[in-house]
């Protein structure tokens, strides 16, 4: 059973520009009520670059996106290079973004879970719209089948597929026959997505490190 957690983070654990109270948080003069949050996405990327074969400072970018029930959103961004005297403060800001994201996930877990269970039918466990420029509408069926934009995509049956996850993605590798490995971007409400499929289908999904 998913329930919300209400412990507020300490001031020094908040990203720059964020303030919180029991019912809302404020960022750049915009106030978001916790009760109005529909979905959360946190995504970070580390890029190693070279110039004329010479290694350059590693660049880090992280974006926390919060969607409300009207599909309006705000983005809390952090982009920096791991170089110079400002690095320590930026690393702390990155950590605080992760901590704040976890706080929001726990604070809004119950309502986000309900958002997906409300899409359930006799056949469909839940519907999920993945992050991306193209339409990526998924339906997770109660028999374990997964459809993408109305067409068969994969299955959560471990007898048919090796099911595993990497950073913000769920992967399917068919155990027999010709089949291109497929994946779903689960960066939006990753915690809820994984809980729902793991709980309903009694899955233990391993994590693997991969390089993009």
What's the confidence (pLDDT) of residue 52?
A: 61
Q: Predicted confidence band at 184 (pLDDT cuts at 50, 70, 90)?
A: very high
129 and 160 both lie in a single domain: yes
103 and 128 both lie in a single domain: no
134 and 176 both lie in a single domain: yes
98 and 22 both lie in a single domain: yes
Average the pLDDT over each of 33-47, 69-83, 128-142, 184-198 and give the range with the smallest value.
Answer: 69-83
Give a yes or no: residue 169 inside a domain.
yes
20 and 53 both lie in a single domain: yes
pTM listed for this prediction: 0.88
Confidence check: pLDDT of 204 > 90: yes
82 and 157 both lie in a single domain: no
Q: Which domain holds residue 178?
A: 124-201
Which of these three, 62, 78, 107, is where a domain ends? 107
28 and 89 both lie in a single domain: yes
More confident of the two residues 210 and 109: 109
Total structural domains within the chain: 2
Give a yes or no: residue 68 inside a domain.
yes
Give a yes or no: residue 208 inside a domain.
no
76 and 32 both lie in a single domain: yes
Give a yes or no: residue 70 inside a domain.
yes
CA max distance for the chain: 59
156 and 95 both lie in a single domain: no
Q: What is the CATH number of the domain that holds 180?
A: 2.30.29
Which of these three, 107, 138, 159, is where a domain ends? 107
16 and 98 both lie in a single domain: yes
Q: What angle do CA 102, 107, 111 make, to 5 degrees?
A: 120
Decide the pairing of beta strands 145-148 and 50-51.
Answer: unpaired
Nearest Cα to Cα of residue 198 among 163, 167, 168: 163
pLDDT tens digits for 50-108?
656 666 667 778 899 999 988 888 898 876 665 655 566 777 888 888 899 999 999 99
Give a yes or no: residue 26 inside a domain.
yes
What whole-number distance in Å separates Cα of residue 15 and Cα of residue 102? 12
Nearest Cα to Cα of residue 164 among 146, 145, 182: 182
């Amino acid at each position: 059973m998913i329930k919300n957690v209400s412990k507020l983070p300490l001031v020094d654990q908040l990203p720059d520009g964020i303030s919180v109270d029991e019912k809302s948080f404020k960022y750049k003069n915009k106030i978001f009520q916790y009760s109005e949050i529909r979905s959360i996405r946190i995504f970070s990327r580390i890029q190693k670059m070279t110039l004329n074969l010479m290694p350059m400072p590693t660049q880090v970018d992280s974006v926390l996106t919060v969607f409300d029930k009207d599909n309006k959103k705000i983005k809390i961004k952090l982009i920096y290079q791991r170089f110079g005297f400002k690095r320590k403060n930026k690393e702390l800001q990155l950590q605080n973004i992760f901590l704040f994201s976890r706080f929001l996930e726990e604070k809004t877990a119950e309502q986000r879970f309900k958002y997906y269970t409300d899409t359930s039918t006799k056949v469909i466990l839940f519907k999920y719209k993945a992050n991306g420029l193209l339409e990526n509408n998924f339906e997770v069926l109660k028999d374990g089948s997964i459809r993408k934009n109305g067409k068969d995509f994969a299955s959560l049956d471990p007898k048919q597929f090796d099911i595993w996850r990497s950073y913000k993605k769920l992967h399917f590798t068919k155990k027999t026959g010709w089949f291109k490995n497929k994946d779903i971007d689960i960066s939006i409400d990753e915690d809820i997505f994984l809980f729902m499929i793991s709980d309903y289908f009694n899955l233990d999904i391993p994590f693997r490190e991969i390089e993009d």
